[in-house]
Amino acid sequence: MHELGTRFAQLRLRDLLLLEKIEELGSLRAVAEVFHLTQPAVTHALKALEHAFGALLVARGRRGQRGVGLTIEGAAVLIRLRLAKTELLAA
């Protein structure tokens, strides 16, 4: 399988929905609560997403700062993921 396909094959639908919740809530801890996961599990899933897309998708706050936000690449990926989610729901 092509390397890109292999990276995407390892993702779960929940992992893809993380970006949507990160944009909405602006906090990995809050996202973890919504998905009933630990914050480290969310961070791990986010790193897998970033690896699959080959880009930094979320800008983490610096030490002492709170919150996270999508990078330009993350916002672009989120647009495409929302389109895919719409198609999945329609199916």
In this prediction the pTM is 0.80
Residue 34: the pLDDT is 95
5-22 mean pLDDT = 78
57-72 pLDDT per residue, tens: 999 876 556 789 999 9
Alpha-carbon Rg for the chain in angstroms: 13
Contacts of 84 (CB under 8 A, 6+ apart): 16
71-84 mean pLDDT = 93
**Over 80: is that where the pLDDT of 74 sits?**
yes
Whether 47 contacts 39, CB under 8 Å: no
| Residue 61 to residue 51: CA distance in whole angstroms | 20
